[in-house]
Structure 1
């Protein structure tokens, strides 16, 4: 078929005289616009000699994540003296991290030991949906924990009044609502696209940006949504955390006792390290223009917020 006929065939998809096409033209149009039903995940590395070492590395990380976070949730649940807002938020973060890691890591481990890393379209969309929920929820839970630390250190006498059970519950519910709303928007607009360029996803899981690279239709709205929602879900928590720690550090420096200052810094240090790794790697992945970002570098960056941070939280 000539180029002129092919252009006519493509254009006819949007106008009534599609029925006037010849049978050959119809078949070619159908083949050209058929979406794939399963994908092949490219994985972290294509070098065969690295598959086993990477499998053992991430198996160890995942086991530490599961044991650590389950242990944290169980310990906080069983210990009455730990039923405080700080530990309530910590157990919620442990649950988010456990789910976040479980959505990604088991499939990645299977892919290290199988010859073809296949995932169906429905499984891919489900993975994208639940990954987005827990990733967004983690962003806002880290900001909530920073606010809790601000009240505890800067308003110690009013801590129990401000951080009441009802406020803690509402903040936690709000974190999950933001995650569900953001994930539903991303996944809904992804389902509207025709993914037919290739069936190879240049990543180790179904993430937004590598899936957009497979689209035959316009991704302008999707890319705009990724930028807007990522800016909201990353920059808003980061600014909240930054403002909280400015007040926290100012308050700690006013403590006369060296032991008191050290104790206050130790309380915040693990949270600060998790925040820096999580938001730094997430911003590198999602807040760069598509023309600048490299998916190979993005895969390495995403390892930190999908597997490393959930393990750090539990340690």
Structure 2
């Protein structure tokens, strides 16, 4: 963790602040603030539950803080995939989703898949019809599987093999296959599928391997569970680096790019690729449309954390005013 600097801002400094739907953000904040144990946050959760007007609540009890670790801001998107699968292996269903082994291995993705390292241990949750879909489910961390009998199971992150995550999109750029602005999730999917064994080798450059758990207790109309073990909300949940931003904190997003976005979100999730105070992953929802929208996002901008007044001023003398 770098030594960050902190800059206190005013709400008037937040581009588009007055135009947002603050009540939507308040509802999402209330969904997880009860799990925050820090006394400053717990007391604000109590206040929020008393029926406060949303915009006034945030402006009275919070200070916008810009946390700078020396790296440029980067916004990406994530979603909840929907896959096709079966509880038994057969026909097109040849690619397993594994539960976490009793003693998680540090084998790489290549070593696990080439040697079928976990076969015969009863760790399979389901069998999927597409190896590329399994890979992207591991990148996203959660999803839904529509089974061949018509039923649906939901899976969430259950652990990993301890290897570092690396971007296969970046690998394609480094190999000269594409330029950085051309890479998206759909581009990667199509390239891997077109290139057979070479495509499989590309996926193996990401040595991280994710295991899953069933989370069928989550209602179908709710989002998948995030890092706070609560359902995340499309376009209001953001995944952050908890080394810099506490889970449950309101976060103001100023995303540039083809579709600029200025919106109050809540830090309810994280991911292996989310590192730094200005790094954020926006949850777009469930299914193919959400996946396409999320896959196009790779934009700069600014991320500002709303912190309780006393917590913000406790940062002094590290604050730049």
Q: Is TM (by shorter chain) over 0.5? A: no
Scaled to the shorter chain, the TM-score interval is under 0.3
TM-score of the superposed pair, with normalisation by structure 1: 0.25
Higher helix share: 1
Which is higher, the Rg of structure 1 or of structure 2? 1
Give the TM-score, by structure 2 length: 0.24
Larger proportion of strand: 2
